[in-house]
Protein backbone atom coordinates (compact mmCIF):
# COMPACT_ATOMS: atom_id res chain seq x y z
CA UNK A 1 0.00 0.00 0.00
CA UNK A 2 1.12 3.55 -0.63
CA UNK A 3 0.91 6.12 2.18
CA UNK A 4 1.01 9.76 1.26
CA UNK A 5 1.74 11.94 4.28
CA UNK A 6 0.26 15.45 4.32
CA UNK A 7 -0.32 18.50 6.55
CA UNK A 8 2.88 18.27 8.58
CA UNK A 9 2.84 22.06 9.10
CA UNK A 10 -0.41 21.84 11.07
CA UNK A 11 0.67 18.74 13.00
CA UNK A 12 1.38 18.73 16.72
CA UNK A 13 5.04 17.64 16.76
CA UNK A 14 5.07 17.27 20.54
CA UNK A 15 2.42 14.51 20.37
CA UNK A 16 4.29 11.22 20.88
CA UNK A 17 1.63 9.16 19.17
CA UNK A 18 2.20 11.17 16.00
CA UNK A 19 5.93 10.51 16.24
CA UNK A 20 5.32 6.79 16.85
CA UNK A 21 3.06 6.62 13.81
CA UNK A 22 5.74 8.28 11.65
CA UNK A 23 8.34 5.84 12.96
CA UNK A 24 6.12 2.83 12.16
CA UNK A 25 5.41 4.07 8.67
CA UNK A 26 9.07 4.71 7.88
CA UNK A 27 10.04 1.29 9.23
CA UNK A 28 7.37 -0.36 7.06
CA UNK A 29 8.84 1.47 4.07
CA UNK A 30 12.43 0.51 4.92
CA UNK A 31 11.41 -3.11 5.51
CA UNK A 32 9.71 -3.16 2.10
CA UNK A 33 6.23 -3.78 3.49
CA UNK A 34 4.65 -0.58 2.15
CA UNK A 35 5.58 2.67 0.40
CA UNK A 36 5.76 6.13 2.01
CA UNK A 37 5.59 9.34 0.01
CA UNK A 38 6.27 12.56 1.90
CA UNK A 39 7.52 16.02 1.09
CA UNK A 40 11.24 16.69 1.72
CA UNK A 41 10.30 19.31 4.37
CA UNK A 42 8.50 16.64 6.41
CA UNK A 43 11.31 14.12 6.05
CA UNK A 44 13.82 16.80 7.11
CA UNK A 45 11.78 17.45 10.24
CA UNK A 46 12.08 13.76 11.13
CA UNK A 47 15.79 13.63 10.29
CA UNK A 48 16.39 16.54 12.68
CA UNK A 49 14.11 15.44 15.53
CA UNK A 50 15.82 14.14 18.67
CA UNK A 51 12.88 11.83 19.49
CA UNK A 52 13.94 9.43 16.74
CA UNK A 53 16.88 6.99 16.74
CA UNK A 54 19.69 7.48 14.24
CA UNK A 55 18.30 4.58 12.26
CA UNK A 56 14.88 6.20 11.85
CA UNK A 57 16.53 9.51 10.93
CA UNK A 58 18.49 7.69 8.24
CA UNK A 59 15.26 6.14 6.96
CA UNK A 60 13.79 9.61 6.59
CA UNK A 61 16.88 10.72 4.64
CA UNK A 62 16.65 7.68 2.34
CA UNK A 63 12.91 8.22 1.85
CA UNK A 64 13.74 11.76 0.70
CA UNK A 65 15.71 10.33 -2.22
CA UNK A 66 12.77 8.28 -3.50
CA UNK A 67 10.07 10.97 -3.54
CA UNK A 68 10.73 12.14 -7.08
CA UNK A 69 10.42 8.63 -8.38
CA UNK A 70 7.46 7.54 -6.24
CA UNK A 71 5.24 10.61 -6.28
CA UNK A 72 4.18 10.10 -9.95
CA UNK A 73 2.86 6.66 -9.01
CA UNK A 74 -0.14 8.02 -7.10
CA UNK A 75 -0.92 10.38 -9.96
CA UNK A 76 -0.70 7.57 -12.52
CA UNK A 77 -3.26 5.08 -13.78
CA UNK A 78 -1.30 2.18 -12.31
CA UNK A 79 -2.99 2.35 -8.91
CA UNK A 80 -6.68 2.17 -8.04
CA UNK A 81 -6.37 3.17 -4.40
CA UNK A 82 -3.94 4.54 -1.79
CA UNK A 83 -3.98 5.98 1.72
CA UNK A 84 -3.48 9.65 2.51
CA UNK A 85 -2.54 10.26 6.13
CA UNK A 86 -3.45 13.67 7.47
CA UNK A 87 -0.85 14.34 10.17
CA UNK A 88 -2.91 17.22 11.61
CA UNK A 89 -5.77 14.91 12.51
CA UNK A 90 -5.90 11.97 14.89
CA UNK A 91 -8.95 9.95 14.01
CA UNK A 92 -10.52 11.22 10.85
CA UNK A 93 -11.48 8.78 8.13
CA UNK A 94 -13.13 9.35 4.79
CA UNK A 95 -13.02 7.87 1.32
CA UNK A 96 -12.53 10.34 -1.52
CA UNK A 97 -12.87 9.66 -5.24
CA UNK A 98 -10.09 11.45 -7.05
CA UNK A 99 -8.73 10.99 -10.61
CA UNK A 100 -10.53 7.63 -10.93
CA UNK A 101 -8.94 6.41 -7.73
CA UNK A 102 -10.28 5.82 -4.25
CA UNK A 103 -8.18 7.71 -1.72
CA UNK A 104 -8.62 6.57 1.88
CA UNK A 105 -7.99 9.70 3.92
CA UNK A 106 -7.07 8.88 7.50
CA UNK A 107 -5.82 10.48 10.68
CA UNK A 108 -2.51 9.23 12.10
CA UNK A 109 -3.73 7.52 15.28
CA UNK A 110 -4.43 4.22 13.54
CA UNK A 111 -0.72 3.88 12.71
CA UNK A 112 0.75 4.38 16.18
CA UNK A 113 0.73 0.58 16.68
CA UNK A 114 2.96 -1.47 14.42
CA UNK A 115 0.18 -4.03 13.81
CA UNK A 116 -1.38 -1.51 11.43
CA UNK A 117 1.64 -1.49 9.13
CA UNK A 118 1.95 -5.25 8.60
CA UNK A 119 1.60 -6.50 5.04
CA UNK A 120 -1.87 -6.52 3.47
CA UNK A 121 -3.99 -9.67 3.71
CA UNK A 122 -5.37 -10.99 0.45
CA UNK A 123 -8.56 -12.87 1.23
CA UNK A 124 -10.47 -15.19 -1.07
CA UNK A 125 -12.92 -18.05 -0.71
CA UNK A 126 -10.27 -20.67 -1.27
CA UNK A 127 -6.48 -20.72 -1.06
CA UNK A 128 -6.22 -21.54 -4.78
CA UNK A 129 -8.41 -18.54 -5.58
CA UNK A 130 -5.97 -16.34 -3.64
CA UNK A 131 -2.96 -17.86 -5.41
CA UNK A 132 -4.66 -17.17 -8.74
CA UNK A 133 -5.30 -13.51 -7.85
CA UNK A 134 -1.74 -13.02 -6.63
CA UNK A 135 -0.49 -14.48 -9.89
CA UNK A 136 -2.56 -11.78 -11.63
CA UNK A 137 -0.98 -9.12 -9.37
CA UNK A 138 2.54 -10.25 -10.28
CA UNK A 139 1.52 -10.51 -13.93
CA UNK A 140 0.40 -6.86 -13.76
CA UNK A 141 3.82 -5.76 -12.50
CA UNK A 142 5.66 -7.91 -15.06
CA UNK A 143 3.62 -6.58 -17.97
CA UNK A 144 4.01 -2.91 -17.09
CA UNK A 145 7.75 -2.33 -17.37
CA UNK A 146 7.42 1.03 -15.60
CA UNK A 147 6.66 -0.95 -12.40
CA UNK A 148 9.87 -3.00 -12.46
CA UNK A 149 11.16 -1.52 -9.19
CA UNK A 150 8.07 -2.71 -7.33
CA UNK A 151 7.02 -6.04 -5.88
CA UNK A 152 4.09 -7.44 -3.89
CA UNK A 153 4.15 -7.97 -0.14
CA UNK A 154 1.14 -9.82 1.23
CA UNK A 155 -0.29 -12.50 3.48
CA UNK A 156 -2.83 -14.99 2.11
CA UNK A 157 -5.98 -16.09 3.85
CA UNK A 158 -9.13 -17.84 2.79
CA UNK A 159 -12.62 -18.25 4.12
CA UNK A 160 -13.84 -21.57 2.74
CA UNK A 161 -16.82 -19.77 1.21
CA UNK A 162 -19.27 -19.30 4.07
CA UNK A 163 -16.77 -17.78 6.51
CA UNK A 164 -15.20 -15.27 4.14
CA UNK A 165 -17.21 -12.26 5.32
CA UNK A 166 -16.55 -13.12 9.00
CA UNK A 167 -12.83 -13.46 8.40
CA UNK A 168 -12.82 -10.14 6.55
CA UNK A 169 -14.48 -8.42 9.50
CA UNK A 170 -12.03 -10.04 11.94
CA UNK A 171 -8.99 -8.90 9.96
CA UNK A 172 -10.28 -5.31 9.96
CA UNK A 173 -11.11 -5.51 13.67
CA UNK A 174 -7.45 -6.43 14.34
CA UNK A 175 -6.36 -3.16 12.69
CA UNK A 176 -4.98 -4.90 9.63
CA UNK A 177 -5.38 -4.25 5.91
CA UNK A 178 -7.43 -6.57 3.77
CA UNK A 179 -8.24 -6.86 0.10
CA UNK A 180 -10.91 -9.45 -0.56
CA UNK A 181 -12.34 -10.87 -3.77
CA UNK A 182 -15.45 -13.01 -3.91
CA UNK A 183 -17.08 -14.32 -7.04
CA UNK A 184 -20.72 -13.58 -7.69
CA UNK A 185 -21.77 -17.22 -8.40
CA UNK A 186 -24.06 -15.79 -11.07
CA UNK A 187 -25.12 -18.41 -13.62
CA UNK A 188 -26.76 -15.82 -15.85
CA UNK A 189 -26.13 -12.09 -16.31
CA UNK A 190 -29.51 -11.28 -14.72
CA UNK A 191 -29.42 -13.82 -11.89
CA UNK A 192 -28.91 -12.69 -8.29
CA UNK A 193 -25.57 -13.01 -6.53
CA UNK A 194 -24.72 -16.03 -4.40
CA UNK A 195 -24.72 -16.33 -0.60
CA UNK A 196 -20.96 -15.83 -0.01
CA UNK A 197 -21.17 -12.54 -1.73
CA UNK A 198 -24.45 -11.49 -0.06
CA UNK A 199 -22.87 -11.95 3.39
CA UNK A 200 -20.81 -8.82 2.66
CA UNK A 201 -23.75 -6.62 1.76
CA UNK A 202 -24.93 -4.66 4.77
CA UNK A 203 -27.79 -2.86 3.06
CA UNK A 204 -29.91 -3.44 0.01
CA UNK A 205 -28.30 -0.57 -1.94
CA UNK A 206 -25.00 -2.43 -1.93
CA UNK A 207 -26.39 -5.15 -4.15
CA UNK A 208 -25.64 -3.14 -7.27
CA UNK A 209 -22.07 -2.25 -6.35
CA UNK A 210 -19.13 -4.38 -7.37
CA UNK A 211 -16.71 -2.94 -4.85
CA UNK A 212 -16.83 -1.20 -1.54
CA UNK A 213 -14.42 0.13 1.03
CA UNK A 214 -14.59 -0.13 4.74
CA UNK A 215 -11.80 1.50 6.76
CA UNK A 216 -8.65 -0.24 5.48
CA UNK A 217 -10.36 -2.97 3.58
CA UNK A 218 -11.79 -3.41 0.13
CA UNK A 219 -14.19 -6.03 -1.14
CA UNK A 220 -14.31 -6.65 -4.87
CA UNK A 221 -17.20 -8.70 -6.16
CA UNK A 222 -16.15 -10.41 -9.34
CA UNK A 223 -18.93 -10.01 -11.86
CA UNK A 224 -18.37 -13.51 -13.18
CA UNK A 225 -19.72 -16.87 -12.16
CA UNK A 226 -16.46 -17.96 -10.55
CA UNK A 227 -12.71 -17.58 -10.73
CA UNK A 228 -12.51 -20.32 -13.42
CA UNK A 229 -14.43 -17.95 -15.73
CA UNK A 230 -11.39 -15.70 -15.97
CA UNK A 231 -8.78 -18.35 -16.72
CA UNK A 232 -7.38 -17.08 -20.05
CA UNK A 233 -8.85 -19.10 -22.90
CA UNK A 234 -5.38 -20.05 -24.21
CA UNK A 235 -4.51 -21.53 -20.85
CA UNK A 236 -7.84 -23.36 -20.61
CA UNK A 237 -7.30 -24.81 -24.08
CA UNK A 238 -3.81 -25.98 -23.23
CA UNK A 239 -4.97 -27.69 -20.04
CA UNK A 240 -7.85 -29.51 -21.75
CA UNK A 241 -6.14 -30.38 -25.04
CA UNK A 242 -2.85 -31.54 -23.47
CA UNK A 243 -4.56 -33.13 -20.49
CA UNK A 244 -5.64 -36.44 -22.02
CA UNK A 245 -9.24 -35.15 -22.02
CA UNK A 246 -12.40 -36.82 -23.33
CA UNK A 247 -13.75 -36.13 -26.81
CA UNK A 248 -16.58 -34.21 -25.14
CA UNK A 249 -14.17 -31.80 -23.48
CA UNK A 250 -12.19 -31.25 -26.67
CA UNK A 251 -15.47 -30.48 -28.45
CA UNK A 252 -16.42 -28.11 -25.62
CA UNK A 253 -13.20 -26.17 -26.18
CA UNK A 254 -13.89 -26.01 -29.93
CA UNK A 255 -17.38 -24.66 -29.27
CA UNK A 256 -16.12 -22.05 -26.83
CA UNK A 257 -13.43 -21.08 -29.31
CA UNK A 258 -16.00 -20.57 -32.07
CA UNK A 259 -18.21 -18.50 -29.77
CA UNK A 260 -15.33 -16.32 -28.57
CA UNK A 261 -14.44 -15.65 -32.23
CA UNK A 262 -17.97 -14.26 -32.49
CA UNK A 263 -17.47 -12.05 -29.40
CA UNK A 264 -19.42 -14.20 -26.98
CA UNK A 265 -18.77 -13.65 -23.27
CA UNK A 266 -20.43 -16.96 -22.36
CA UNK A 267 -17.44 -18.05 -20.26
CA UNK A 268 -18.11 -15.27 -17.76
CA UNK A 269 -21.32 -16.96 -16.54
CA UNK A 270 -20.57 -20.55 -17.49
CA UNK A 271 -20.14 -23.01 -14.64
CA UNK A 272 -16.84 -24.43 -15.92
CA UNK A 273 -16.63 -27.11 -13.24
CA UNK A 274 -20.13 -28.55 -13.77
CA UNK A 275 -20.69 -27.70 -17.44
CA UNK A 276 -23.99 -26.75 -19.08
CA UNK A 277 -26.41 -28.25 -21.58
CA UNK A 278 -28.80 -26.38 -23.84
CA UNK A 279 -31.94 -27.39 -21.98
CA UNK A 280 -30.63 -26.01 -18.67
CA UNK A 281 -29.33 -22.89 -20.40
CA UNK A 282 -32.83 -22.19 -21.76
CA UNK A 283 -34.30 -22.78 -18.30
CA UNK A 284 -31.97 -20.10 -16.94
CA UNK A 285 -33.15 -17.77 -19.69
CA UNK A 286 -36.78 -18.41 -18.73
CA UNK A 287 -36.01 -17.76 -15.09
CA UNK A 288 -34.11 -14.51 -15.62
CA UNK A 289 -35.67 -13.04 -18.73
CA UNK A 290 -36.14 -9.32 -18.16
CA UNK A 291 -38.53 -8.59 -20.99
CA UNK A 292 -41.00 -11.06 -22.46
CA UNK A 293 -39.96 -10.46 -26.03
CA UNK A 294 -36.25 -10.72 -25.32
CA UNK A 295 -34.82 -13.96 -26.65
CA UNK A 296 -32.70 -14.51 -23.59
CA UNK A 297 -28.98 -14.41 -22.98
CA UNK A 298 -28.08 -18.07 -23.55
CA UNK A 299 -30.42 -18.45 -26.48
CA UNK A 300 -28.65 -15.53 -28.18
CA UNK A 301 -25.19 -16.77 -27.26
CA UNK A 302 -25.74 -20.40 -28.26
CA UNK A 303 -27.08 -19.30 -31.64
CA UNK A 304 -23.55 -18.11 -32.34
CA UNK A 305 -22.69 -21.80 -32.83
CA UNK A 306 -25.08 -21.98 -35.78
CA UNK A 307 -23.48 -21.16 -39.11
CA UNK A 308 -26.37 -21.53 -41.56
CA UNK A 309 -29.47 -23.67 -42.30
CA UNK A 310 -29.75 -24.52 -38.59
CA UNK A 311 -26.43 -26.34 -38.78
CA UNK A 312 -23.79 -25.87 -36.16
CA UNK A 313 -20.25 -25.14 -37.28
CA UNK A 314 -19.19 -28.75 -36.70
CA UNK A 315 -21.82 -30.19 -39.04
CA UNK A 316 -22.02 -27.47 -41.66
CA UNK A 317 -20.73 -29.83 -44.36
CA UNK A 318 -23.03 -32.73 -43.42
CA UNK A 319 -26.16 -32.12 -45.45
CA UNK A 320 -28.28 -34.85 -43.86
CA UNK A 321 -27.22 -34.34 -40.28
CA UNK A 322 -29.78 -32.92 -37.93
CA UNK A 323 -28.21 -30.76 -35.21
CA UNK A 324 -29.63 -31.26 -31.72
CA UNK A 325 -28.87 -30.50 -28.05
CA UNK A 326 -25.61 -32.47 -28.30
CA UNK A 327 -24.17 -29.79 -30.57
CA UNK A 328 -24.73 -27.10 -27.90
CA UNK A 329 -23.32 -28.80 -24.83
CA UNK A 330 -20.45 -27.76 -22.59
CA UNK A 331 -18.93 -30.71 -20.76
CA UNK A 332 -17.91 -30.36 -17.09
CA UNK A 333 -14.23 -29.50 -16.61
CA UNK A 334 -14.13 -30.77 -13.05
CA UNK A 335 -13.18 -29.35 -9.68
CA UNK A 336 -9.41 -29.61 -10.29
CA UNK A 337 -9.44 -27.06 -13.10
CA UNK A 338 -8.08 -24.22 -10.95
CA UNK A 339 -5.25 -26.27 -9.44
CA UNK A 340 -4.31 -27.44 -12.95
CA UNK A 341 -4.27 -23.80 -14.00
CA UNK A 342 -1.89 -22.84 -11.19
CA UNK A 343 0.38 -25.72 -12.20
CA UNK A 344 0.24 -24.49 -15.81
CA UNK A 345 1.24 -20.95 -14.68
CA UNK A 346 4.36 -22.37 -13.01
CA UNK A 347 5.59 -23.85 -16.27
CA UNK A 348 4.80 -20.98 -18.62
CA UNK A 349 5.72 -17.37 -19.00
CA UNK A 350 2.59 -15.61 -20.22
CA UNK A 351 2.40 -12.02 -21.40
CA UNK A 352 -0.51 -9.69 -22.11
CA UNK A 353 -0.73 -10.95 -25.69
CA UNK A 354 -1.64 -14.40 -24.38
CA UNK A 355 -4.79 -13.17 -22.64
CA UNK A 356 -8.01 -13.08 -24.65
CA UNK A 357 -9.96 -9.85 -24.84
CA UNK A 358 -12.89 -11.10 -22.72
CA UNK A 359 -10.59 -12.04 -19.83
CA UNK A 360 -8.06 -9.20 -20.08
CA UNK A 361 -10.21 -6.42 -18.53
CA UNK A 362 -10.73 -8.61 -15.43
CA UNK A 363 -7.00 -9.23 -15.19
CA UNK A 364 -6.25 -5.51 -15.55
CA UNK A 365 -8.74 -4.58 -12.86
CA UNK A 366 -7.65 -7.24 -10.35
CA UNK A 367 -3.95 -6.69 -11.14
CA UNK A 368 -4.29 -2.97 -10.43
CA UNK A 369 -6.17 -3.62 -7.18
CA UNK A 370 -3.66 -6.17 -5.90
CA UNK A 371 -0.75 -3.95 -6.90
CA UNK A 372 -2.33 -0.98 -5.11
CA UNK A 373 -2.94 -2.90 -1.88
CA UNK A 374 0.33 -4.83 -1.77
CA UNK A 375 2.99 -2.80 -3.55
CA UNK A 376 6.39 -2.24 -2.01
CA UNK A 377 9.55 -0.63 -3.37
CA UNK A 378 12.15 -3.28 -4.15
CA UNK A 379 15.21 -1.02 -4.03
CA UNK A 380 16.88 -1.67 -0.64
CA UNK A 381 17.40 1.27 1.71
CA UNK A 382 20.85 1.69 3.18
CA UNK A 383 19.94 2.98 6.62
CA UNK A 384 22.92 2.04 8.79
Could you list the residues that contact Zn ion (CB under 5 A)? Answer: 312, 315, 323, 327
B/e letters for 1-13, b = 16+ CB within 10 Å, e = fewer, are bbbbbbebeebee
Count CB-CB contacts under 10 A for residue 95.
16
* Least spacing, CB of residue 188 vs Zn ion, in Å: 24
| Pairing of β 211-214 and β 217-222 | antiparallel
Q: What is the DSSP letter of 161?
A: T
Q: Which is nearer to Zn ion, 46 or 312 (CB)?
A: 312
Q: Which is nearer to Zn ion, 21 or 327 (CB)?
A: 327
* Least spacing, CB of residue 320 vs Zn ion, in Å: 12
* Least spacing, CB of residue 315 vs Zn ion, in Å: 4
What CA–CA distances, in Å, run from 271 to 80, 177, 180, 229, 267? 29, 31, 22, 8, 8
What are the φ and ψ backbone dihedral angles of 154, each rounded to 5 degrees? -160, 165
Contact 149, 158 (CB under 8 A): no
* Least spacing, CB of residue 356 vs Zn ion, in Å: 24
Q: Which is nearer to Zn ion, 246 or 348 (CB)?
A: 246
Q: Which is nearer to Zn ion, 274 or 315 (CB)?
A: 315
The Cα–Cα gap between 252 and 99 comes to 43
Q: Which residues contact 232 (CB under 8 A, 6 or more apart)?
A: 350, 354, 355, 356, 359, 363
* Least spacing, CB of residue 209 vs Zn ion, in Å: 41
What CA–CA distances, in Å, run from 191 to 228, 269, 284, 293, 368? 18, 10, 8, 18, 27
Cα–Cα nearest to 151, from 382, 374, 345, 384: 374
Contact 371, 147 (CB under 8 A): yes
* Least spacing, CB of residue 306 vs Zn ion, in Å: 8
* Least spacing, CB of residue 282 vs Zn ion, in Å: 17
Q: Which is nearer to Zn ion, 2 or 253 (CB)?
A: 253
* Least spacing, CB of residue 274 vs Zn ion, in Å: 22
Q: Which is nearer to Zn ion, 282 or 350 (CB)?
A: 282
* Least spacing, CB of residue 304 vs Zn ion, in Å: 13
DSSP lists the bridge partners of residue 93 as: 106
* Least spacing, CB of residue 233 vs Zn ion, in Å: 22
Comparing every residue's Cβ against Zn ion, the nearest one is: 327
Count CB-CB contacts under 10 A for residue 247.
8
Q: Which is nearer to Zn ion, 112 or 329 (CB)?
A: 329
Q: Which is nearer to Zn ion, 284 or 327 (CB)?
A: 327
CA atoms within 13 A on the CB side of 290: 6
Q: Which is nearer to Zn ion, 133 or 330 (CB)?
A: 330
Q: Which is nearer to Zn ion, 71 or 315 (CB)?
A: 315
Longest dimension (CA), the chain: 91
Q: Indicate the burial class of 103 (C-beta count within 10 angstroms; 0-12, 13-18, 19 or more).
A: middle
Contact 26, 46 (CB under 8 A): yes
Amino acid sequence: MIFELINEEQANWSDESLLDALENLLKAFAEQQHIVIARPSLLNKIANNKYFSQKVKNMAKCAGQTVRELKPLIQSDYVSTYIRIDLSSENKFETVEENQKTVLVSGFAFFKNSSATQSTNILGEDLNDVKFYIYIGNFYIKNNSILDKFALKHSCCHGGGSQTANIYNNILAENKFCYCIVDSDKKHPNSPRGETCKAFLKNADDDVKDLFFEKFGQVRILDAHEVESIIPFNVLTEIIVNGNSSRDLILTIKRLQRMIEKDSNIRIYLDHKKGLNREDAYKLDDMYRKKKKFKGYYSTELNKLIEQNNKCFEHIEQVYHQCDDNCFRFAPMGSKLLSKTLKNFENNNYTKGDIDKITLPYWEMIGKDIFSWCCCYKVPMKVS
